Amino acid sequence: MDNLYELIIKRKNNDNESFEIICKKFEPLILKYSRLLNYEDAYCELKDRFILCIYKMPIEENSFKNNETTILSYIKTTIKNEYINLNKRYEKTVKNQYSYEELSTELTDYSYKRDFQNLLTLIDLRSFLNRYEFKLLYLKYYLNYTDSEIAKHYKISRQAVNKKLHKIINKLYTNGQF
């Protein structure tokens, strides 16, 4: 079996089999940090960062050449740093979410624009969805924010907003909320 240095060199030369071996080796570490983050896309975001780490690793430097310890340390540190960044971003997102009382106040302030049926629907959705899901739907369909505006607010990509909205809508459909 090849050592980690040789596997990364092979991967940089587009050997997919070596990449699978590398991924299996670091899967427990990625799973550990994604469980600690405890949100839906954590695993995917960490896995993306891991893949980027492998591609950008300065494997040609002398300190990396056939030095398994340096390579392991580099990858572990990169994943841990990404975990810290994602955790900070997630905490900011949670902090910026409306409390139920704030939302109720905002709804009454704009009640002249919304009919009673919409208010009841919002209350039903609020009891079914978590805060993050509810706020996404609220921003998109009640305040008419664009995906780009929502993405900017949460500091995520527009595509991520779109995917999350689709997941929320599918969740509502599958559970008979629509």
Q: Give the pLDDT of residue 28.
A: 93
Percent of the chain whose predicted confidence (pLDDT) is above 90:
4
128 or 80, which is more confident: 80
pLDDT-derived band of residue 27, with 50, 70 and 90 as boundaries?
very high
Q: What is the mean pLDDT of residues 51-71?
A: 84
Angle between helices 4-12 and 42-56 (to 10 degrees): 90
Calpha distance 33→27 (Å, rounded): 10
C-alpha distances out from residue 75 to 10, 21, 48, Å:
17, 15, 13
Q: Give the pLDDT of residue 111.
A: 47
| Token pair belonging to 178 | 């629509």
Q: What is the mean pLDDT of residues 66-90?
A: 86
- Nearest of 75, 74, 92, 104 to residue 132 by alpha carbon: 92
Q: Quick: pLDDT tens for 107-157.
A: 454 544 445 456 556 667 777 788 888 888 888 877 778 888 888 888 899
Q: Give the pLDDT of residue 165.
A: 86
Q: Give the pLDDT of residue 162.
A: 87
Cβ(24)–Cβ(7) below 8 Å: no
